[in-house]
Amino acid sequence: MRTFLRILSISLFYLGALNTHLARFVGTCTQGGADNLAGIVLTAIHYGIAILAMVASRRERRVLVAIIPVIPVLAWQTVFSVRLAYGLLWKGLSACQVLIGGAYPMYGKEVFFGTAWITVTLLTLVSLIVIWHVRAFRTSG
């Protein structure tokens, strides 16, 4: 069962990273619509279940080593989420203005996009950092 949980966790981290990339780049702002940014909800589900499965497997170190290639995607996701949230929530730009520039009207879901992207990103990073530190404390203590 623990092996299954490790494989599930690793797979979902990779699927979450892939979905993040797709949510950002595939079809975004076609005809002024930014619906693909809502893909962060699916990414949240992937990352959430992946983190729960990692903790339940009790072999966090193996999972963390296996997801090292996902870390650059998480770093990019962090930069993008901060930039997106800043543009949408602070400067009041439309989603497409932040993504590709130019003059686009407000899409209507800017507050959701800005809040969701930054929340999912920060929760994922904080969870991984906490798991890493708890794991390090458990092995040293």
Look up the domain containing 105 and give its range: 2-140
Alpha-carbon distance of 29 to 50, in angstroms, equals 30
- The pLDDT confidence band at residue 61, using thresholds 50, 70 and 90, is confident
Length of the chain: 141
How many structural domains comprise the chain? Answer: 1
Tokens matching residue 134: 């708890």
DSSP H helices in 26-109: 40-57, 60-66, 71-85, 95-100
pLDDT at 52: 95
Alpha-carbon distance of 126 to 45, in angstroms, equals 16
pTM of the predicted protein model: 0.89
